[in-house]
Every structure is written in C-alpha cells, then in structure tokens.
Chain A
C-alpha cells in the first residue's frame, strides 16, 4: 500500500494525477497525503514527474520511503480521507476584462468526422425509390417516414431501405451527411437554438455547407399508397 506526501505549497503539481478517480486525499498540517494508488499508477510517469513529493510504502504500520530499508515515520492518525476530485477543486481562470474580440464571427462549416454512428435518413432518387417501393414488404415501410424534396425523397427512420442514395445522421434535429460533423460540433446545440428554436423543423445540411429547412409537419408515414397517391 503506497502513500504520497507533498507540501501544501506544491499542491498544484497534483493536477497531473487528479483525474485518477480512485485516489483519496487527506490534509494534515502543512502536508497533503494521497493514497489508494493502483500498482501500475505508482510507477507511472505521471507520478515520477511530480517534484517535491515523497512516496512511502506502508508495512506493519510504518512508512518506508520508496527504496529505503529503514522506516522514516508512522502514518499520522486521524486523517480525514476524501476523493481527490472533491479535495482539489478546479477553479476557472479569472474573466479577462481586457478582451475585445467579441465581434468576431464563426463560420459554420461541416467537415469529415471519425465518428461511427448509424444513419437515420436516406435521400433517394424518385426512380430508384419507385423500383423498390412498388414491391416492398409492408414491414419494411412501417417504421419509416418520408417527405418529397423536388425529384427525390427523403426517408427517415430505422432500419432504412436497401436502395442507393445519400445517407444522413441525425443530431439536434440536424441531418448531416454521414461521415461529416460540424467543425465546431460542441456548438451544435447552440446552433440548433439559433436556427430552429422551437424544434418544428428538420434541417438538412449539404456537403457544400448550405442547408434546407424541412418543416416536421410535412413529414408523413411511408407506405405504398402514400407513394402512389403522391406521384400519380
């Protein structure tokens, strides 16, 4: 069982191991104690990088400094252990009152993404859809909805139909081409609030960064009769 001791004035160096949630810390006078290291953690570079620290091993209630054969001291009694995340809270840097870049604007772009997600929508040509849907089994159409865009049809739902077309991901009511995400994807929620506050639309993004707004009320249940009545 290993213990780490460091002076209070050097506590910032513990930042590099703060994310190990198994650790517990305790304060004693001028010192900070850390315990509950895993075997692989105690010899890791993160620990070795910390200056001014002392690493002890506890044997028979005595603390042996790492590598030493003689004990250095006893573990102080009555320590109050708390999880390291709670014991060392993070404080944000002070607000910068001299920052004047607030007029800057971000251009919203989409770019290739490494994520793996299931497609939620399929944009298909009318002819392709006609060839499949006229003989489609009912159970394949039941979970799907659709809306007509010019000469193609956008099909939403899962599982999608086995036909050729462009697929899209759904996130915050945005349909993004599969394989793409917003360049500033953390702002997706904010962007949805700007473009589509009441969530009554679905917004379809094209690879050239343009988008089309599709009101949700125009999206209908997909069925053979719905298809035939639309295109007859």
Chain B
C-alpha cells in the first residue's frame, strides 16, 4: 500500500500536467463539438447534437481544406521518403565530402520555417521588379510566366508540395542515414561472395533491414502532413481561404481566431474529423507494417 502511494507521488507531476493540458482539453473539445448554437460572447449554447459536424462537412472552405490536405499528404509523404532514401543511400556510398553534404541536407531542418518560406518567395514570388528565379528559368526555356503564389491552383499546389518536401526531408535523411549505417556490413560481404547483383542487395537485404525505420517515417510523415498549417502560412499568408490553400488545421484555426472566427464548436468538430482521419490512416499503416513482417 505504502509502495503504491510512493509510485503515485512520483507520477503526480506528469499526471497533473497531462491532465490539465492534454486530457481535459481533449474531453472539452469532444464536448464542444456536440454543443449546438454556441455563443462565444455569452458562453451559452442551445443543446447537444450533430449539427456542427454536418455544418463543417458541408462547408465549401472545409472541403477545400480537406482536399488540399489530402493532396499534400499523398504527394509529399511518398516523394519525401523515397527521395530521402536515395539521398541517404548516396550519402552512405560516398566518402569524400560526406559530412559537408550531410550538413547541407540537414540545414533546412534547423532553419526557421518562415525563413525557408522567404527563400521560396525569392524563388517563386512575382514582384514589381522580377517574376522570381523559377520564372526566369522558365523564360530561359521559352515558357510563359507562371504565377506560383497567386496563380492557378496546380501551380500553387506544386510550390506547396515542393516546399513541404524540402522541409520534412532533412529529418528523414538523418534517420535513414543512421539506419543504413546500422546494417551490419557482414551481410553485404556475404551477399558479395554469393555474387548478388546490387539491385537485389538493395531490395532483398538493405530494404528489409531498414524497413522498421521506413515505416516509422511513413507513419510520422502522414501524421505530420495531416497537421500541416505553418508551411502554408509561410507561403501564402494568413488568409488561406481566399488563396484556396487552406488545410484542416488552418480551418480549425480560422474557426477559432480568424476573421470569420469565434466558432469553437465548428473548430472542435473539424479537429475531431481530422483526428478520426489520422487515427484511421495510422491504424492502416500499422496493419500494413505488421503484415509485412
């Protein structure tokens, strides 16, 4: 009994903090999402029901945000993971300048999102003085000017995905380089004595050995991409709805504090929808990784 008391005392600080800042808000969000006709000023509501969900799911801004988020997730997670894998493979093969390249690839990770956003502005943004570096390149090949920031949806989405890949890749390269380094070289020697072609070494030995790390990156990549928001702000400013580049988290923020904000119930409903999506995708990911073993 006394022992148990001691254990609880040790756990108390963590329980208090998690309870106040994690569990209570989570429960509160769940309750909010069912409160209909909530008035922010008087802090009163009319009753409980599913209206908030129905409103959010019929809101064109939310549907746009949902679509954007899905496109970002589906493009950036596979692209960044594959690219990171090949860059890590390259890094593990070279000997000269390895540290230099590792630093170069890691720089975006330690750089502020908004600073990277600024660089992207220089690359893509049309100003009174220039059309941006990328447009200069396009001109060089005789193409027409593309407005990447205020132009067509596809152009904006391209910049968005490009940016996201650049931001998330360094961490993946870091993880994968160490995963590759941890594969015992003895396996490669054994494969070499048996005359294994290098592609087969990669698919039959290297990949299965680092598979747990790849799955970890895919799962965290999915979760991270679903929660995308700050990257969008960095590129397109705070009025994401009018730019048509909002994400689910952006929508939640707008519903709470944006110009059209003050609707915590809608925000809560949207947040819970996001949670349901992320939860489902993660479960599917885990199931795939289990069956792969």
| Real binding pair | no
